[in-house]
Amino acid sequence: MNFLAHIYLSGKNEDIIIGNFIADSVKGKKYLNFPQDVQKGILLHRAIDFYTDTHPIVRQSTSRLFPKYRHFSGVIIDIFYDHFLASNWKQYSDIPLEKFISDFYGLLEKKHALLPKPIQRFLPYMKKENWLLSYASKEGIGDILRQMNIRTQKKGKMDMAIFDLEDHYEEFKAEFTTFFPELITFSLNRRQQI
């Protein structure tokens, strides 16, 4: 899953939200350098990623892209799934998406000192371009895929994946819609165990 889903799946504990958000920037056992609830968020993120990457429905989505995008397929599916979460947000939350995102940006400002330097550096761009809200539209997903393609030095041709989304929109949406409630249950259980 990508940023929006990880934030959503974190629950209401602010430090768990922060940990889940920064987890990709915290390698190995460096998570132990953070406060306990931030550690829990990092571990939750890792558990969500493992569950997602090994789930048969997600593998079905990924396999549709693999011949073209190889190891970038999983990243693209994460972005697609965030699109389906954002574009169908009212099915998953009573809080309007714009408020959810605004509250999250406020939390990042409040907890700025906890954020790793790479996160602190890209945060102004994330807010200015409102990445999280842009997931809700196909145009926004196209922009995200173009940015990811540039970030990967155009090796994966990820910008072309917008056409795959359009060509197989209903299949990807059906897979997400079946998978995401299972992920919600998994995340809730894992938050209680960590």
pLDDT tens for the chain, 194 residues: list them: 689 999 999 999 999 999 999 999 999 999 999 999 999 999 999 999 999 999 999 999 999 999 999 999 999 999 999 999 999 999 999 999 999 999 999 999 999 999 999 999 989 988 988 989 999 999 999 999 998 888 888 888 999 999 999 999 999 999 999 999 999 999 999 999 98
Q: What is the pLDDT of residue 154?
A: 82
Angle between helix axes 169-193 and 56-69 (nearest 10 degrees) is 130
> What does the block give as tokens for 115?
């954020």
The tally of domains found in the chain comes to 1
Q: Count CB neighbours of 109 within 10 A.
A: 10
How far does the chain reach from its first CA to its final CA, in angstroms? 19
Look up the domain containing 102 and give its range. 3-193
CA distance 37 to 41: 6
In the 8-state DSSP scheme, what is residue 74?
Answer: H
pTM of model > 0.85: yes
Closest-CA residue to 175 (of 75, 72, 80, 76):
80
Q: What is the pLDDT of residue 1?
A: 65
